[in-house]
Amino acid sequence: MNSRSNLDIARSDLYRLSARGAEFLGVRYAILGGAMSWVSERRLVAATSNSGAFGVIATGSLSPEELREEVLGTFALTEKPFGVNVIIMHPELKELLEVCIHEGVKHVVLAGGMPPQWAIDLLKQSGTRVVAFAPTLPVAKKLRRRGVDAFIIEGMEAGGHTGPVATSVLCQEILPYLKDVPVFVGGGIGRGDIIAQYLLMGAAGCQIGTRFVCALESIAHENFKKAFINAKARDAQLSVQLDPEFPVIPVRAISNKATLEFNEAQRNAIASYREGKMGQKEAQLFIERFWAGSLRRAVIDGDIEYGSLMAGQSVGMVEKEQPVAEIVDELITQAIHALEIRQLNL
C-alpha cells in the first residue's frame, strides 16, 4: 500500500471519527472555539466559523443588549453556524437566553455549574441545541435526562476557571460510558495529534481556546498576545486558595503581579471578615469579583503586569500570530498525519 493510499485512508478516518460532532454543530471540522471573555467576540467567532470550525461567543462580560449586538454583528460576518456560551450565574441569565432564541442562535453552551431545568426547557422549546459541561459521569447522565443534547468535558489544563481533574483522566472516566450524545473534549489541546487521539477514544470533537488567542482576527491587545507567544506551559499556573472557608474556583493564568495581587485580595477579605468589618458573603463576593476587571485590563488595555493573563497549559504551543484559518488547517493536517502514522503501523 503506497503512502498516498495511507494518506487518503487517514483523511477519511478523520472525517469518519469526527462526523458526529461536525454534523451536530453543522460544520466541516468538529472543533469548537473555547469561549474566552473579551476575546471571543464577533471577529474571532466569525473567523473561526468561516474556517470550517465552530465559533462561540463568550457572554461573561456582556449585558443582554451587548449580546444582541455581538450576535447580529457575527451574523453580518459569517453565514456559517456559531454558538453562544452563557454563564448560568449571570444575573440576567433569562434575558441572555431570550436574546439567543430571538436572534436565531441554534447552539447555546450553558457553563459555570449545573444548569437550571427551566433554562434547558426554555432553549429546547425553541429548538435550540443545548450543550453543557460534564465534570463527572453522574452529572452528565443527570443532565442528559434533563434534556441536554451534547457535552464538553474540560480538564484542569484549560485556561481561566477550571476543574481539579486532568483532561486525560476525565476522558477515561466519561468517554467509554457516555455514547448516546456527542461529547467534545477540551483542556490543554494545542496540536492536531491529540485531537486524533481523543477522537479515537470516542470524542465527537474538541474544544480549543488558547491557540486562538493569538489569531490575527483576535482583538486581544498586542501585549497580551506577546505574553502568550513568550510563555511556556509551566508558566500557566493555577490560583491558590488561602482559606477553606472561602472556596476559590481555580483560575489558570500566566503568572504575573496580578497573581500576587489575588493572593493579597484574599488575605484582605479574610482579615476583614475575621475582624467583623465584612460579612462572609460579602468577603466571598469580593474575592470572586477580582478576576473580572483584571482580565479586561490585560486583554483590552494590554496591562500584562497587573491584568489577568488567563491561559491554558497549551500556551507553550502558541508560537506566533497567525490567521484562524491557518491555525485550523494546521490542526487538521496534524490530526491526519497522526492517523496516517497509525495506519502505517497497523
CATH code of the domain in which 144 resides: 3.20.20.70
Predicted local confidence at residue 344, as pLDDT: 82
Establish if 227 belongs to a structural domain: no
* Number of residues that make up the chain: 346
pLDDT: which is higher, 260 or 66: 66
Q: Are residues 176 and 324 in the same domain?
A: yes
316 has a pLDDT exceeding 50 = yes
**Of 241, 312, 336, which is closest to residue 15 (Cα–Cα)?**
336
301 has a pLDDT exceeding 80 = yes
The pLDDT of 297-304, averaged and rounded, is 96
Establish if 259 belongs to a structural domain: yes
How many structural domains are present in the chain? Answer: 2
Predicted local confidence at residue 66, as pLDDT: 97
The pLDDT of 201-209, averaged and rounded, is 98
Predicted local confidence at residue 3, as pLDDT: 52
Residue 236, domain extent = 232-310
Predicted local confidence at residue 1, as pLDDT: 45
Predicted local confidence at residue 244, as pLDDT: 84
Q: Are residues 28 and 172 in the same domain?
A: yes
Q: Are residues 84 and 110 in the same domain?
A: yes
Q: Are residues 158 and 125 in the same domain?
A: yes
Q: Are residues 277 and 135 in the same domain?
A: no
193: alpha, beta or left, given left = phi > 0 and alpha = psi -120 to 50? alpha
Distance in angstroms (rounded) separating the CA atoms of residues 283 and 326: 45
> Half-sphere exposure of 330 toward its Cβ, with a 13 Å CA cutoff?
15
Full-model pTM = 0.93
249 has a pLDDT exceeding 80 = no
Q: Are 159 and 176 in contact (CB under 8 A)?
A: no
